[in-house]
C-alpha cells in the first residue's frame, strides 16, 4: 500500500498536476477534546492523500462538511486544502486505514496494521461520548477496539459499547450519495442523534 500511495502522489491526477501531494499517512483532524468522533474508511487517492487532511478535496468530504456546517459543527461548508481555514467544533475525524488504498478498497490486513493508531487516538480523546462510523468496513474496524461485542452494522443503528454511544451511518462516498442511498437529511439526522445529550 505504501508503494501505491507514493506512486499516486508522484504521478498525480491531471487536474492536480501543479499541486504537491501529501503522499503520506493521513492523521486525524479536529480537536482532541471533541465529544464526537467520526470514523471513516481510508484517505481518497486524490483527496486526503493529496491534501493531507481527512475528507478534504473530494466529493465525499464535500457531502460530509456540508452536513457538519449545517449543524454548526464546521466553520465552512467546503474543504479543499489543509490551509483553507476549516475548523471543526466538538468533532474529530479519524480513519481505520491511514494510507490511500488501491481502488479505495482497504484490506483487513491494512486495517489491522493501522488499528493501533486509531486505538491510541481514541484513548487520547478524554471527552469522547459518541462515535459515528461511516460504512460497514469502518464498523468492523472500530468495534473490536472497544470490546467483544459485534452488533451488526446498519444505517441509523445505535449501540452502547465501551462506555460510548456508537452510531452507524452509510458512508458519504459518491456511490451512496449520488444514488440517493444516503441523503443530506439522513446524514444530518444521525449527526443530530450523535451530538445530543445522552
Q: What is the pLDDT of residue 4?
A: 59
Reported pTM: 0.92
Distance, CA of 79 to CA of 64 (rounded, Å): 10
Place of cell 479519524: 94
78 contacts 65 by C-beta, under 8 angstroms: yes
**Residue 129 gets which letter from DSSP?**
-
Q: What is the pLDDT of residue 85?
A: 97
Distance, CA of 94 to CA of 132 (rounded, Å): 11
133 contacts 39 by C-beta, under 8 angstroms: yes
Decide the pairing of beta strands 164-169 and 91-94: unpaired
pLDDT digits (tens, 9 = 90+) for 71-94: 999 999 999 999 999 999 999 999
Sheet holding 36-39, edge to edge: 91-94, 36-39, 130-134, 164-169, 158-161
pLDDT digits (tens, 9 = 90+) for 26-42: 999 999 999 999 999 99
Which are the contacts of 20, defined by CB distance < 8 A and separation ≥ 6? none
Q: What is the pLDDT of residue 186?
A: 98
Q: What is the pLDDT of residue 134?
A: 97
Helix (H, G, I), strand (E, B) or coil at 121: helix
Helix then strand then coil, in percent of the chain rounded to 5, is 40, 15, 50
Helix (H, G, I), strand (E, B) or coil at 145: helix
What does R_g of the chain's alpha carbons equal in angstroms?
16
Residues of the chain with pLDDT under 50: none
Amino acid at each position: 500500500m505504501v508503494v501505491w500511495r507514493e506512486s499516486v502522489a508522484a504521478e498525480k491526477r491531471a487536474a492536480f498536476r501543479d499541486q504537491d501531494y501529501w503522499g503520506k499517512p493521513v492523521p486525524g483532524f479536529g480537536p482532541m477534546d471533541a465529544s464526537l468522533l467520526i470514523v471513516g474508511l481510508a484517505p481518497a487517492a486524490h483527496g486526503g492523500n493529496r491534501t493531507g487532511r481527512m475528507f478534504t478535496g473530494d466529493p465525499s468530504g464535500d457531502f460530509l462538511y456540508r452536513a457538519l456546517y449545517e449543524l454548526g459543527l464546521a466553520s465552512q461548508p467546503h474543504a479543499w486544502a489543509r490551509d483553507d481555514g476549516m475548523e471543526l467544533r466538538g468533532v474529530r475525524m479519524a480513519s481505520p486505514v491511514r494510507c490511500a488504498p488501491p481502488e479505495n478498497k482497504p484490506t483487513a490486513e491494512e486495517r489491522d496494521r493501522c488499528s493501533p493508531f486509531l486505538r491510541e487516538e481514541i484513548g487520547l480523546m478524554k471527552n469522547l461520548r459518541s462515535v459515528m462510523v461511516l460504512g460497514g468496513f469502518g464498523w468492523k474496524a472500530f468495534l473490536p477496539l472497544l470490546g467483544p461485542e459485534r452488533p451488526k452494522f446498519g444505517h441509523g443503528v445505535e449501540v452502547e459499547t465501551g462506555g460510548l454511544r456508537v452510531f452507524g451511518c452509510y458512508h458519504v462516498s459518491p456511490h451512496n450519495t449520488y444514488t440517493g442511498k444516503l441523503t443530506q437529511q439522513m446524514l444530518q439526522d444521525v449527526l443530530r442523534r450523535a451530538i445530543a445529550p445522552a
